[in-house]
Amino acid sequence: MTMVHETTLHILNGQAMYDFFKRTNFLQGEIMIPFNEAMCFGDTTDKLFTREFVEIRAKVHHVSPEQYTEITINPIKPLLSKGFTHIELWFDEDMFCQINILSILAWLDKNGHSKPIDLHIVGEKFEPISKYTLMAAGYYELFIDVLIHKTLPKSIHLVPLKKGVELYLTYLNEDSNLTMYIKKHQNMTEKELVYSLIQNFKEYGLGDVQYLEILRAQRSKRLKTSN
């Protein structure tokens, strides 16, 4: 009988976490990859990590498909190779991270990953806070409901993901607390407002690039309606 060699792949939410784990030797000797995306922002497709996906997401991030491939697809090639028996995810509990988790779980589900997956929720300083063990089955359907049809599924068992999805489906609404805050602070410069949004809306986990686009879209909408 041949022995199956157990190999673990750790998927981290982004370059900053990857660099921190490397610097602190947190998962020394383990195979780690960063997921450099912001799936909670902009258009996508259910054909995850394909050429079509690359072209759509490159437009969202205002980069060429080649640049996008270099930044996002190349680092996750170990995942796409399907050469790992065990997957561990390391992500924050904010909306940004939870929608990234959903995207990875959807890909794993679509590609028939049938082994338990460990999800580590980390804090602001990347320290582990809680751990969940889950199966990928059902997450592709969940991804389609949430990111393609923009509908809230009947049930989401994972507590941080449920909260993340609820925020994702409402954060750009005209009456969301984020939109209302931007409307209320029209007198602030872009730089001041972006900094203020990062400080005041940590549950979203968005960065300066996303906030800048959101507030510019809001302000141009306001200009159009006032003319």
* pLDDT tens digits, one per residue of 107-125: 999 999 999 999 999 998 9
Q: How far apart are CA 158 and CA 175, in angstroms?
A: 26
Mean pLDDT for the stretch of residues 52-58: 98
Residue 134 phi, psi (nearest 5): -145, 170
Separation between Cα atoms, residue 107 and residue 97, nearest integer Å = 16
From 140, 168, 196, give the residue that closes a domain: 168
The mean pLDDT of 80-107, rounded to a whole number, is 96
Q: 């041949």: which residue's tokens?
A: 2
Average pLDDT on 4-18 reads 90
What's this model's pTM, rounded to 2 decimal places? Answer: 0.94
Q: Assess whether 84 and 58 both reside in one domain.
A: yes
181 and 119 share a domain?
A: no
pLDDT attached to residue 198: 95
pLDDT greater than 50 at residue 1 = no
- Does one domain contain both 30 and 46? yes
Residues 99 and 201 in one domain: no
Q: Give residue 213's domain range.
A: 173-226
Same domain, 157 and 216: no
Q: What confidence category does residue 3 fall into, taking pLDDT thresholds of 50, 70 and 90?
A: very low
- What share of the chain has pLDDT > 70, as a percent? 96
| Residue 200 sits in the same domain as residue 219 | yes
